[in-house]
Amino acid sequence: MTYRQAIEYLHSLTDYEKRRIERYTPETLDLGRVTRLLAALGDPHRAYPSVHVAGTKGKGSTSAIIESALRAANIRTGFYTSPHLHTFRERIRVAGELITRDEVVSLVDELRPLIEREPEITTFEAITAMAFAYFARQQVEMLVAEVGLGGRLDATNVLLPEVAVITSLSLDHTYLLGDTLAQIAREKAGIIKPDTPVVSAPQQPEAIQVIEEVSRQQHAPLVEVGRDWTWEAGPFDLQGQSFIVRRVRGDGDSLSGPYWLPLLGRHQLENATTAVAALQVLRERGFNLPRPAVEEGLRNVVWPARMEVLSRAPLVVADCAHNTYSAQVLRAALEEWFPSTRWVVIFGASGDKDIPGMLRTLLPITEYLIVTRSEHPRAASPVELADIAASLGRGAEVAVSVARALQRGLADMEPGSGLLITGSVFVAAEGREAWARRNGEPGPENDQ
């Protein structure tokens, strides 16, 4: 089996990343399948402690910050995240290094007979079992695992973590998780385990009420950022931003103090403070996390396509904003970091997203709109996007690919304007690749 064949095999399973889930139920997403698969592998996910991170927005950034700090403290980390930007290998990392192609092939070869005992197993369930087995064999000392979808029924929810983290919640995947914040919060709070600490980012009242209720039911100590931890923003530039974290409630030595973060946007300070609060929980549970290591971890974290400045001249920014809330956060950050800048926007989105809501948010800062689509099967057609833009009173140029949109966008920029590539993870990724090719750079590895 080649690497390409291994990836094709995984995607030949029931793949809810490529096609829409029609029902979010225990029958559709059955944790029994991944549990049985892991049992056949010797329950590798019990071989190491873990941090489990769920949320609507910021869970990737928060996970990356936690993992970076753990690694800076000389803890051998596993890092499991999804979706990937450019290569499948990004999803499974040990000590900051991507799994190799040969290791992917070997694991798929080994797991294939076990996978085929579970005829309804999903792609994500199979990948999760594969990753957890790999982490055990690599003798990781702490796993940071990001939830794929929801929480309660997610394949990663077989973990019994040292701490569960819930980042900012907003309306997304409403056709699956519910159309109120309370319903979505209940699904995300499904990762809370009995007697296991929980750290929550600041939430809307109806969301935090659910998280508090589930925490009480599970006798899980709850730490709330905004109540127990706060932050104060400091100076910023295109390199990053400084801030001060303070522990408001709690006893003993803490990770309070000044930090510097290379991620742009004030929303990242919420994610960073949530990560620091989770790291403090780990300290109190006996893990050696000196404050200088946490400082180093935050200072060196890498998490691309999150308000990432690809170029300053011309100004080109790529961002993964993929729902209305994240578009609002992106707009606020752009207005603070780049005041008075008007944007040529390259926009593409998955068909199951609130496209009108995202466009309604971004159009007021848009000088010129180019709609396109990624190569992802769930991507909405550019013609559909143009029709939605027209219904909002704006015209849009249609481009058949992100690379063509980038070419057109650069030609349409006026002096002092910027080029923004956004709408989905996949559009941002293809924008990064197209920018690298345009500049004659090798660019990131791409499985396509």
Q: What's the pLDDT score for residue 385? A: 96
Residues 307-359: tens digit of each pLDDT: 999 999 999 999 999 899 899 999 999 999 999 899 999 999 998 889 999 99
Find the mean pLDDT for residues 198-219. Answer: 96
- Pair 342, 366: CB distance under 8 Å: yes
Average pLDDT over every residue of 176-204 = 90
**pLDDT at residue 72, rounded to an integer:** 98
d(CA 77, CA 63): 12
Q: What is the pLDDT, as a whole number, of residue 283? A: 97
pLDDT digits (tens, 9 = 90+) for 216-273: 999 999 999 999 999 999 999 999 999 999 999 877 678 999 999 999 999 999 999 9
Give the burial string for 265-301 (b: 16+ CB within 10 Å, else e): bbbbbbbbbbbbbbbbbbbbeebebebebbbbbbeeb
- CA distance to 185, 231, 298, 371, 398, per residue, from 199 (Å): 14, 15, 18, 38, 43
Q: Which pLDDT does position 119 carry in this prediction?
A: 82
Q: Is the peptide bond before 262 cis (omega within 30 degrees of 0)?
A: no
pLDDT in tens, 401-439: 999 999 999 998 999 999 999 999 999 999 999 999 999
pLDDT at 252: 67
pLDDT at 113 over 70: yes
**Shortest CA distance to 307 belongs to which of 353, 277, 350, 343?**
343
Long-range contacts, 387-392 (Cβ 8 Å, 24+): 388/355, 388/356, 388/359, 389/359, 389/363, 391/356, 392/356, 392/359, 392/360, 392/363
Please tell me the predicted confidence (pLDDT) of residue 334: 97
Q: Is the pLDDT of residue 109 over 80?
A: yes
Q: How far apart are CA 431 and CA 359, in angstroms?
A: 18
Can you give the pLDDT at residue 133? 98
Among residues 173, 201, 177, the alpha carbon closest in space to that of 59 is found at: 201
> Edge to edge, what strands does the sheet with 308-312 contain?
308-312, 315-318, 418-422, 343-347, 366-371, 397-398
Residue 7: closest CA among 136, 80, 99, 77: 99
The radius of gyration of the chain from alpha carbons, rounded to an integer in Å, stands at 21
Superfamily of domain 308-438: Mur ligase, C-terminal domain (3.90.190.20)
Task: Say whether the peptide bond before residue 314 is cis (omega within 30 degrees of 0).
Answer: yes
Nearest residue to 425 (alpha-carbon basis) of 318, 267, 311: 318
Fold of the 3-299 domain: UDP-N-acetylmuramoyl-L-alanine:D-glutamate ligase (3.40.1190)
**pLDDT for 7-17, tens place per residue?**
999 999 976 66
What pLDDT does 249 receive?
Answer: 82
pLDDT of residue 268: 97
How many Å apart are CA 323 and CA 331, to the nearest integer? 12
Ranges for all domains in the chain classified under CATH 3.90.190.20: 308-438
Residue 83 burial (10 A CB sphere; 0-12, 13-18, 19+): middle
Q: What is the mean pLDDT of the chain?
A: 93
pLDDT of residue 353: 87
* pLDDT band of 30, cuts 50, 70, 90: confident
Closest CA to 146 of 60, 223, 31, 35: 60
Contact 126, 235 (CB under 8 A): no
Rounded CA gap, 215 and 255, in Å? 24
Instruction: Give per-residue pLDDT as tens, 45-79.
Output: 999 999 999 998 899 999 999 999 999 999 999 99
The percent of residues in the chain predicted with pLDDT above 90, rounded, is 81
Residues of the chain with CATH 3.40.1190.10: 3-299
Distances (CA, A) of 398 to 198, 357, 392, 393, 395: 45, 19, 16, 16, 10
Which residue is it, tokens 């590539």? 421
pLDDT value of position 47? 97
Give the bridge partners for 309, in sequence order. 317
- Distance between CA atoms of 259 and 376, rounded to whole angstroms? 37
